[in-house]
C-alpha cells in the first residue's frame, strides 16, 4: 500500500505541474465581478477550459455569489479549479429546486481543486428546516461540494464552511487525494458531515482539520482502500464507518485505515455503526491506530444496534458481518463511563477484533469500563480500562 501511495503522490505532483503550466481562464474575463453573481461566468469559463488540455479556471480573491453549478467533464486534459476567493451559496433552499448539490464536479479525470479559497454554504436557514432527526426518509438538502465519478485527482488548501448538509461528498471516485482541507460548521448544525465517502476507492485524506455538527469523516457502503492520516476532528460526532445496513444491496466496505488522528470534544471517537434488522453485508480490514482522544464520548465504539431517534425496528439483529478490525494505541480522556464499547450482532458476531494499548481515563468520578457483546477481542499491551469489564 505504501508503494502505491508513493507512486500516486508522484503522479499527482506531475499533474499539478502540468495544470500550472496550462492556459488560464479567469472568470473576470467572462464578466464576473466581486460581490456579484458569477454563476454564468463560471459556467462559461469552465466550458472553455474543459475544451483545452492542461487548463486552469481562476477565481481571484474577493467574495462572489454563486448559484448551483455542475462542472462537467470529461475534459480534453488535466484541469485545475483555482479558488482564491470566497464563494457564497444562496441561503434559501427553494432556489436549489430539489437538487442535492451546490458545486458539483462530475466525470473528470486529472482534476485539481486548490487555491486557499472558501466554499461558504450559508446553511443557517437550512438547518432550521432539517427534519432528518424525526423522519426516516428525510429531505436531502444541498451538499456544498460533490465529487461524482472523479479519478486521479487532488483537492488541497480549500475550506468548506456552513454547508446546508454534508460538506464534501464522494460518489464513485477513484484515486483521489485530499490535503490540508479545512471544514467548519457549528456543533449544532445537523447532518453536516465533513467528508462522506461512498462507493469509492483509493482515497487518501491527509492533514485535514474538521469541526462540524455530525461525523467529521464518514464511510459509506462500497468503499475500499481508504487512508486517513493526521486528521483533527472536533466538534463533531467522530470518525465513522457507516452507518451500514440501512438499504438493500449495499456493497462491502474494506481496507480502511485511520492513522494519527486527534479528536477533541466530539460525541464519539472512532466507531463502526450498523443498523439492526439489516440486509446482509460486510465490513472488514478496518484499522484505527495512534489516535488521541481529548474529552470524547464513546472513544472506541462498535455499535451494531445503531438506531438514532428510534427510527427503526431493533427487534432483529444486524446482518452486517464485521471482521478483521483493530484499535491500537488509543489514548486520552473519555466523557462516558464506557470508554470502550464493542456491541456486535448476535446474528453475525464480530470476528478477528484486536484491542491493543488502550489508555483512556474517565473524566467523571470512578474508573472507565469496557463492554463486549458478541465479540471476543484479542487483547495486548496496556488496557485502561481493562478489556471487556462487562461481557454479554
DSSP type of residue 20: H
Q: Which residue has the cell 476567493?
A: 85
Q: Transcribe 74-106 into DSSP letters.
A: --SS-EEEEE-SEEE--S-SGGGTT-SEEEEEE
Distance CA 109, CA 183 (A): 24
238, part of any domain: yes
56, part of any domain: no
pLDDT at 390: 78
202, part of any domain: yes
**CB neighbour burial string for 241-273, b if at least 16 within 10 angstroms, e if fewer:** bbbbbbeeebebbbbbbbbebbbbebbbbbbbb
User: Looking at residue 220, which CATH number applies to its domain?
Assistant: 2.160.20.10
67, part of any domain: no
216 Cβ partners below 8 Å, 6+ apart? 183, 193, 194, 195, 210, 231, 233, 234, 236, 237, 238, 239, 263, 266
Q: Which positions are annotated as active-site residues? A: 214, 237
Dihedral over Cα of 95, 99, 105, 108: its sign: negative
Domains identified in the chain, total number: 1
Distance CA 88, CA 156 (A): 19
| CA 211 to chain centroid | 12
Distance CA 93, CA 101 (A): 11
28, part of any domain: no
Ordered per-residue pLDDT tens for the chain, 392 residues: 444 444 555 455 444 544 445 899 999 999 999 999 999 999 999 999 999 999 999 999 999 999 999 999 999 999 999 999 999 999 999 999 889 999 999 999 999 999 999 999 999 999 998 988 777 777 789 999 999 999 999 999 999 999 999 999 999 999 999 999 999 999 999 999 999 999 999 999 999 999 999 999 999 999 999 999 999 999 999 999 999 999 999 999 999 999 999 999 999 999 999 999 999 999 999 999 999 999 999 999 999 999 887 777 767 999 999 999 999 999 999 999 999 999 999 999 999 999 999 999 999 999 999 999 999 999 999 999 999 987 77
| CA 164 to chain centroid | 15
123, part of any domain: yes
3 Cβ partners below 8 Å, 6+ apart? none
39, part of any domain: no
60, part of any domain: no
Residue ranges making up the domain that contains 114 = 88-391
Q: Which residue has the cell 483521489?
A: 176
Amino acid at each position: 500500500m505504501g508503494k502505491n501511495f508513493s507512486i500516486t503522490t508522484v503522479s499527482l505532483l506531475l499533474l499539478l505541474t502540468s495544470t500550472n503550466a496550462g492556459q488560464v481562464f479567469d472568470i473576470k474575463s467572462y464578466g464576473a465581478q466581486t460581490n456579484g453573481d458569477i454563476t454564468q461566468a463560471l459556467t462559461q469559463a469552465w466550458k472553455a477550459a474543459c475544451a483545452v488540455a492542461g487548463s486552469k479556471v481562476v477565481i481571484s480573491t474577493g467574495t462572489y455569489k454563486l448559484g448551483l453549478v455542475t462542472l462537467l467533464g470529461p475534459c480534453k486534459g488535466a484541469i485545475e479549479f483555482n479558488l482564491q476567493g470566497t464563494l457564497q451559496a444562496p441561503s434559501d433552499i427553494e432556489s436549489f429546486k430539489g437538487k442535492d448539490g451546490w458545486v458539483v464536479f462530475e466525470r473528470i479525470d486529472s482534476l485539481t481543486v486548490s487555491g486557499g479559497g472558501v466554499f461558504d454554504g450559508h446553511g443557517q436557514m437550512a438547518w432550521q428546516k432539517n427534519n432528518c432527526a424525526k423522519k426516516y426518509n428525510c429531505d436531502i438538502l444541498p451538499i456544498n461540494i460533490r465529487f461524482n465519478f472523479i479519478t486521479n485527482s487532488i483537492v488541497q488548501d480549500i475550506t468548506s464552511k456552513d454547508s446546508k448538509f454534508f460538506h464534501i461528498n464522494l460518489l464513485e471516485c477513484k484515486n483521489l487525494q485530499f490535503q490540508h482541507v479545512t471544514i467548519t460548521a457549528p456543533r449544532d448544525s445537523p447532518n453536516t458531515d465533513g467528508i462522506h465517502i461512498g462507493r469509492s476507492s483509493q482515497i487518501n485524506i491527509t492533514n485535514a482539520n474538521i469541526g462540524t455538527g455530525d461525523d467529521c469523516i464518514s464511510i459509506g457502503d462500497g468503499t475500499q482502500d481508504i487512508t486517513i492520516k493526521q486528521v483533527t476532528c472536533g466538534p463533531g460526532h467522530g470518525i465513522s464507518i457507516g452507518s451500514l445496513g440501512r438499504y438493500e444491496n449495499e456493497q462491502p466496505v474494506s481496507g480502511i485505515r485511520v492513522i494519527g488522528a486527534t479528536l477533541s470534544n466530539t460525541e464519539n471517537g472512532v466507531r463502526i455503526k450498523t443498523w439492526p434488522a439489516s440486509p446482509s453485508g460486510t465490513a472488514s480490514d478496518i484499522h484505527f491506530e495512534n489516535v488521541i482522544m481529548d474529552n470524547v464520548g464513546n472513544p472506541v465504539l462498535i455499535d451494531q444496534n445503531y438506531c438514532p431517534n428510534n427510527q427503526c425496528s431493533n427487534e432483529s439483529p444486524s446482518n452486517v458481518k464485521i471482521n478483521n478490525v483493530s484499535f491500537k494505541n488509543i489514548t486520552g480522556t473519555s466523557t462516558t463511563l464506557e470508554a470502550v464499547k464493542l456491541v456486535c450482532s448476535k446474528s453475525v458476531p464480530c470476528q478477528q477484533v484486536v484491542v491493543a494499548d488502550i489508555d483512556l481515563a474517565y473524566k467523571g468520578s470512578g474508573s472507565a469500563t469496557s463492554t463486549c457483546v458478541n465479540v471476543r477481542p484479542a487483547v495486548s499491551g496496556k488496557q485502561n480500562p481493562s478489556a471487556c469489564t462487562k461481557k454479554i
